[in-house]
Amino acid sequence: MKDSPEIIAASTLVTCDASFTILEHGGVVIFRGQIVKVGPLAHLKSAYPGAPVAFYKHCLLMPALINAHIHFEFSSHKDTFTYGSFEAWLSSVIQHRNAVFHNAKRHIHHAIRAQLQSGVGSVGAISSYGLEREILAHSALRVVFFDELIGSAPYALEQNFKDFQERHARSLKYKSPKFTPAIAIHSPYSVHKELAQRVLERADAHTPISTHFLESHAELEWLESGRGWFGRFFQESLGVANPAPSFEGVVDFLNLFAHKHLLLVHALFARPEHFKHAQQIATQTHIITCPRSNRLLSGHLLEVARLRTLALPYVLATDGKSSNLDVHLLEELRHALFSLPGPLEHNAQDLLLACTAHASKALGLNNGVLQEGKDADLVLFSAKKAHTPLDILLRILQAQKARALYIQGRRVIPGSLSSRHF
C-alpha cells in the first residue's frame, strides 16, 4: 500500500451512489487503501498537485464488482448434478456430492482467478466444509466467509453444533479487513430449528447471516403443511421414520433472524407478507438473486417488480458451479439484462447497483460506491463513451473482462497471476 496519495482517473467515472452520478474525465484520489476524494480530474490535480496520476483512456472507472453468493467448494462441478428440476437437483446432490470435490483446490484457484479477471473485488463465499477457507484468505479477493450450518436430524444436533463451532472458530482466526467471518443457515428444510437457534444466539446484529430461502415450491409446501415432495424425500431417500419440519411455518423460520443482518437467497416462492415480516424483525434485510441458478433448478425467476414496491433492492450473484454453468458475474449480468421483465434502462441501473452498492451493503462492507471514506476497491473496463446506465452495462458486457482492478488501493489486475496465490 503506497503511503502517499495517488490519482486514478478515466474517460468516464460511475460512482454507483444513490443519484447514480456519471462524470466525464473523473477520478478518485486514494490514500492508504481508501478513497479520499472523488471528482473531475482537473479538480483532483489542482487539489493534489504532487500526486501521480494513472489515467485510463477510453475506460470506465467504477466500484469493483461484488459477487455476494458463490460456493467455491463446488468449482469442479460440471455434469454430475441433475438440472431442470429443484427436486431432481437436490436428490442428485445428496447422492453424488462427494464426487465433485475431486481436485477441488485447483478448481477453487481457477474460480478465484475468474472473479478477479471479470472485475470482482469482493465475494460472499458460502462454505459447507472449509475446503476453500485458506485459499480465499490468502487470495487478493475481499471475502465475507459464510460458514454454512447444515443438519436436520434431532439426534445429531450436539455433534452438528460442535462441528460448526470448530469450523467457524477456524474462520475467526483469519479475520482481517479483507476477510470477514459470517454465518449461513443452509435452508429451512436442511437445518433443525434448535440447532439454528443455538448457532444464531451468539451472532451479533452486524454479522451477515445468509440463508437459501423458498427456492422451490416444495419447500414452501413442506414449511406450511409438512407434506409433499420433502416428506417423501426424507422418508424414502433419507430413511426418516415420521418426517416433520422443525419450524411451524415460514414466519417461524424467519423469526430465527430477529435483530440480525439477514440475506435471503433466491426467495422465488416468498409472498409479500414474508418479505414484510423479515423487514420488521431483522435489522437489515437483503434479497440475493441468482437468475441462472434459478432457471436451471426451479425454472423460475425472482419477480423484481414486487420487491420495488416493498423498497427492497435486490443483489445479483452467480451461486456456485453446483447450480450454474460458470461463476462469471458478467455472464450473470448479461442473462439478467435479457431475461428480467420491465423497462431496460431502469433494469440496467438496478443491475449495476445489484453488484456494487447494494451488494456491498448486503455483505456489510465499506465499498461498492466511489465516495470519500470508502475502501478503494475499483474496476476499469474498456469503453469509449457511456452516458446512461444501459450504455454502461452494455459496454461492460462487451468488454468481457476488467482492464484493471484495485482492491484496497492495490492493483491486482493486471498483476502477476503466477504468484503463489494463483
Residues in contact with ligand MCF by the rule CB under 6 A: 71, 74, 93, 126, 128, 148, 150, 186, 190, 212, 215, 293, 319-320, 322-323
Beta carbon nearer to ligand MCF, 208 or 320? 320
Of ligand MCF, Fe ion, none, which one sits near residue 115, judging by CB under 5 to 8 A according to partner kind? none
Beta carbon nearer to ligand MCF, 290 or 383? 290
Of ligand MCF, Fe ion, none, which one sits near residue 356, judging by CB under 5 to 8 A according to partner kind? none
Give yes or no for a contact between 22 and 370, defined as CB atoms under 8 angstroms apart. Answer: no
233-249: burial string, b at 16+ Cβ within 10 Å, e else: bbeeeeeeeebebbbee
Question: Which residue is nearest to ligand MCF, using beta carbons?
Answer: 128
**How far is residue 220's CA from residue 274's CA, in Å, rounded to a whole number?**
11
What type of residue sits at position 181? P
- For Fe ion, the binding residues (CB under 5 A) are 319
Min dist CB 8 to ligand MCF, Å, is 35
Of Fe ion, ligand MCF, none, which one sits near residue 11, judging by CB under 5 to 8 A according to partner kind? none
Of ligand MCF, Fe ion, none, which one sits near residue 148, judging by CB under 5 to 8 A according to partner kind? ligand MCF
Min dist CB 184 to ligand MCF, Å, is 8
Of ligand MCF, Fe ion, none, which one sits near residue 93, judging by CB under 5 to 8 A according to partner kind? ligand MCF
Min dist CB 269 to ligand MCF, Å, is 13
Min dist CB 69 to Fe ion, Å, is 6
- Per-residue CA distances from 276 to 103, 146, 273, 312 (Å): 43, 25, 5, 10
* Secondary structure (3-state) at 22: strand
Of Fe ion, ligand MCF, none, which one sits near residue 190, judging by CB under 5 to 8 A according to partner kind? ligand MCF
Give yes or no for a contact between 332 and 289, defined as CB atoms under 8 angstroms apart. Answer: no
Beta carbon nearer to Fe ion, 147 or 319? 319
Min dist CB 246 to ligand MCF, Å, is 15
**How far is residue 259's CA from residue 416's CA, in Å, rounded to a whole number?**
43
Sign of the four-CA dihedral 190, 192, 198, 204: positive
Of ligand MCF, Fe ion, none, which one sits near residue 397, judging by CB under 5 to 8 A according to partner kind? none
C-alpha torsion 69→72→75→77, nearest 10? -70
Min dist CB 69 to ligand MCF, Å, is 7
Strand-pairing partners, residue 406, are 378, 411
Beta carbon nearer to ligand MCF, 131 or 310? 131
Of Fe ion, ligand MCF, none, which one sits near residue 150, judging by CB under 5 to 8 A according to partner kind? ligand MCF
Structure-block grid coordinates of residue 129:
466444509
Residues 6+ apart with CB under 8 A from 185: 148, 149, 191, 196, 199, 200, 209, 210, 211, 256
Beta carbon nearer to Fe ion, 80 or 366? 80
Beta carbon nearer to ligand MCF, 323 or 356? 323
Beta carbon nearer to ligand MCF, 71 or 260? 71
3-state SS, 106-147, equals: HHHHHHHHHHHHCCEEEEEEEECCCCCHHHHHCCCCEEEEEE
Min dist CB 290 to Fe ion, Å, is 7
Beta carbon nearer to Fe ion, 87 or 319? 319
Min dist CB 115 to Fe ion, Å, is 16
What type of residue sits at position 28? V
* Secondary structure (3-state) at 418: coil
Beta carbon nearer to ligand MCF, 44 or 288? 288
What type of residue sits at position 318? T
